[in-house]
Amino acid sequence: MPTPIITKTKTQPIENNSYTIHAEDAYFLVLGFEVNKSPLTNPNFEEEMKQNQEEDNKPQQSAYQRISIEDDEGHFETDMPVHQVLSDPGHAFMYLVKNLNATIFLSVGPLANDAERLAEYRKTYQLPDQEQINQMLAPYPAAQVGYGLGQDFNRAYGIATADYRISEKVTLFQLKITEAQYEAIYKNVVRIRNGIEQREQYYNIANNYTCAKVVRDDAIGNILPDLPWGRSAVMTGHIQAINPYAFYDQMQEYEAQNELVGRKVIDKGKENITKRFWDEFITAIRDNEQPYDVFWELEKTR
């Protein structure tokens, strides 16, 4: 795993045995993926899926599949990766690191689907909290139904958050980057976060203003030209789109060819523990506390 470079220089005659320690700045991009509804991160997923299907008596499918296709004469055949987004949309996020400290974070998601961020938003704009809303709607069943439908709609198109929750097992890829690349991506993330905070950009499935697309296209773009684009067929509109599953799949290949890429899995088990772990990390970055990178934190606790 890449580490900051430390060198020693003599500052006094050699007989005094005196040194000055110089730590060369090191810069990293960390990409995170929640892609757990497929064999990508769980080799036993197909067996577990069949077992769950038998127990629940409901059809189930992997969220990421390779489908064999051929031409109408049978002369050409290939496997095409497909993201079954209705089975699981997955999630992708990123943060930047200077030396050992995380400096900025980006995890785009629908505000309506993140209770903690939604509560923060309502408090900031002095809006009724969830308990008050429930009390207001209690006498009106039809209004309750309408409110629920509105929340469902806002999960597909609505106000976004740049600090969307992390609640599952995560695989992180750590990439060593240059100072110029770090500064350029940092600038993009600031712009993206400001646009979301000022409600100039809404979470939008229809035009793919979603987690993986914003990270790969809007934040990173051509700053890292050899990084995979994370596109595959997506079975909501039969289109090729950047999505978490394809991005993760291609990152595995990228890692195998690049020695400056490290990988770690963070699995805290229960969802509430996982959410608390990541929320503390996200909040510390947002509050400019520059917490230790999760990679180094794991090394420190071994």
Per residue of the chain (302 residues), what is the pLDDT tens digit?
555 554 444 455 555 555 555 557 999 999 999 999 988 888 888 777 777 666 666 656 788 887 776 555 555 556 788 888 878 899 999 999 999 999 999 999 999 999 999 999 899 888 888 888 888 888 888 878 787 877 877 888 899 999 999 999 999 999 999 999 999 999 999 999 999 999 999 999 888 899 999 999 999 999 999 999 999 988 755 578 999 999 999 999 999 999 889 999 999 999 999 999 999 999 999 999 999 998 776 555 44
According to the model, what pLDDT value does residue 6 have? Answer: 46
Query: What spatial distance separates the first Cα and last Cα of the chain, rounded to whole Å?
Result: 15
> Where in the sequence is the domain holding 51, given as residue range(s)?
25-64+84-108+162-223+243-300
Strands (E), the chain: 5-10, 19-24, 27-34, 64-70, 77-83, 91-98, 101-106, 109-110, 157-161, 170-177, 202-204, 231-234, 239-242, 261-266
Unique residue bearing structure tokens 């991160």 = 41
Judge whether 17 lies within some domain.
no
Judge whether 92 lies within some domain.
yes
Judge whether 4 lies within some domain.
no
According to the model, what pLDDT value does residue 72 have? Answer: 56
d(CA 83, CA 246): 7
Judge whether 138 lies within some domain.
no
Judge whether 76 lies within some domain.
no
Judge whether 147 lies within some domain.
no
According to the model, what pLDDT value does residue 1 have? Answer: 53
According to the model, what pLDDT value does residue 236 have? Answer: 58
Number of domains in the chain: 1
CB-facing half-sphere around the CA of 143: CA atoms within 13 A: 8
